[in-house]
Amino acid sequence: MRICGLFLIPLALAGCAGSAVTPLHQPLVTVAECRWEAPAGMEKVDYAQRVVRALEAEGFRLRDSDMALGLISAERTSAGPLRAYGFPFDRHPWHSLGLGYHRPYPHLFGAYHPDYRAIDQERVSVWLGTDEVRVGRDVRRREPNGVTRTLGRAGNAGFCRGLKASIEETAT
Amino acid sequence: MKRVWICALTLLLLSACAATPPAAEPRELSLGAPRPAVMTAALNLFTDRGYVALGGDARLGRLEFVRGDDRIRVDALSEGEGSRVGLRGWRNGRALAPHELDPLLVELQAELGLLP
């Protein structure tokens, strides 16, 4: 009878094994602000120059571009939020056992240091299609303990609105 | 003696971590459309699905996309009149099984209007 209880353990743990993954071909919620009509009566290269200037003005670095495709990729790295250094469970799973402390002395509840912070990496692509301009943006956050997480697309609408405005500003 | 056995068992267990991860296997398909059309269709498809293009080159026939933890590489080669497309994928740096890329290839064909 007791052996039946043992079978319950893997059954219960099986729930932890899988995680919800979006299928590769499934579209995400589209952000209407990140698509606009291609400007009429304007060379693609001229528009691309404006896009690059606007991106660089916002602190992006050009990563790759191809004018035959009308594709511009850029990225930007910025400082993220501060993280508590030496907080229990922060760095190692065995931290709380008294192991894996950093040298001088363990901070029991963590300490803040201006260099110990997350780093946000933004990757942006602008595609100048035949009749549409599409902007894509993906933000990764690197935690100081080495974990990398993908942030959602929550800020994309605002970003695209700002980018479009600064592209049109560059035009004058 | 017991300690030796424990050490041997630990080493055996850890040896599983030392193996090199398998390289990403491409999923390839011949399409009856010229290469520039295929690349435009791929850009159209992937940007519509929320992917961000990391880079690409029309002459090289290569495009690279990322969405969250997934990374997809598209290789397009000219093949006679048409072209040959290869898709490779990684999730969190690990190669995806080729069959997971099949829906993308089907959608690429639909984008080109090659599906019956």
User: Residue B29 sits in a domain of what CATH number?
Assistant: 3.30.530.50
Please report which confidence band the pLDDT of residue A19 belongs to, taking 50, 70 and 90 as the band edges.
low
Which whole number is the average pLDDT over A150-172? Answer: 87
Q: Taking chain B, what is the end-to-end CA distance rounded to the nearest angstrom? A: 69
Q: Where are the beta strands (DSSP E) in chain A?
A: 35-37, 61-66, 71-85, 111-128, 132-142, 148-150
Q: Is there a domain that residue B1 lies in?
A: no
Q: Please identify which residue in the block is written with the tokens 């931290």.
A: A95
- Structural domain count, chain B: 1
Which whole number is the average pLDDT over A102-118? Answer: 69
Q: Is there a domain that residue B13 lies in?
A: no
Query: Range with the lowest mean pLDDT among A30-34, A114-118, B12-16, B26-30?
Result: B12-16
C-alpha distance from residue B48 to each of A44, A100, A153, B87, B89 (Å): 20, 46, 14, 17, 18
Interface contact flag, A127 B47, Cβ < 8 Å: yes
Express each pLDDT in B1-25 by its tens digit.
788 898 888 888 887 777 676 788 8
Q: Is there a domain that residue B84 lies in?
A: yes
Rounded CA-CA distance A61/A77 in Å is 9
Q: Is there a domain that residue B59 lies in?
A: yes
Rounded CA-CA distance A121/A150 in Å is 10
Please report which confidence band the pLDDT of residue B49 belongs to, taking 50, 70 and 90 as the band edges.
very high
Q: Is there a domain that residue B81 lies in?
A: yes
Q: Is there a domain that residue B15 lies in?
A: no
Query: Range with the lowest mean pLDDT among A109-118, B47-56, B80-89?
Result: A109-118
Q: Is there a domain that residue B61 lies in?
A: yes
Size of interface A-B (CB pairs under 8 A): 82
Q: Which of B40, B65, B87 is nearest to A124 (CA)?
A: B65
Where does residue B65 fall: left (phi above 0), alpha (psi -120 to 50 degrees), or beta otherwise?
A: beta
Q: A-contacting residues of B 37-66, CB under 8 Å?
A: 39-40, 43-44, 47-59, 63, 66
Please report which confidence band the pLDDT of residue A102 belongs to, taking 50, 70 and 90 as the band edges.
low
Rounded CA-CA distance B3/B17 in Å is 22
Mean pLDDT rounded to a whole number for chain B: 90
Q: Give residue A18's pLDDT.
A: 64
Is the Cβ of B108 closer than 8 Å to some Cβ of chain A? Answer: no
From chain A, pick out residues whose CB is under 8 angstroms from the CB of B52.
73, 123-125, 136-138
Interface contact flag, A64 B56, Cβ < 8 Å: yes
Q: Give residue A98's pLDDT.
A: 53
Q: Is there a domain that residue B5 lies in?
A: no
Domain that holds residue B92: 23-112
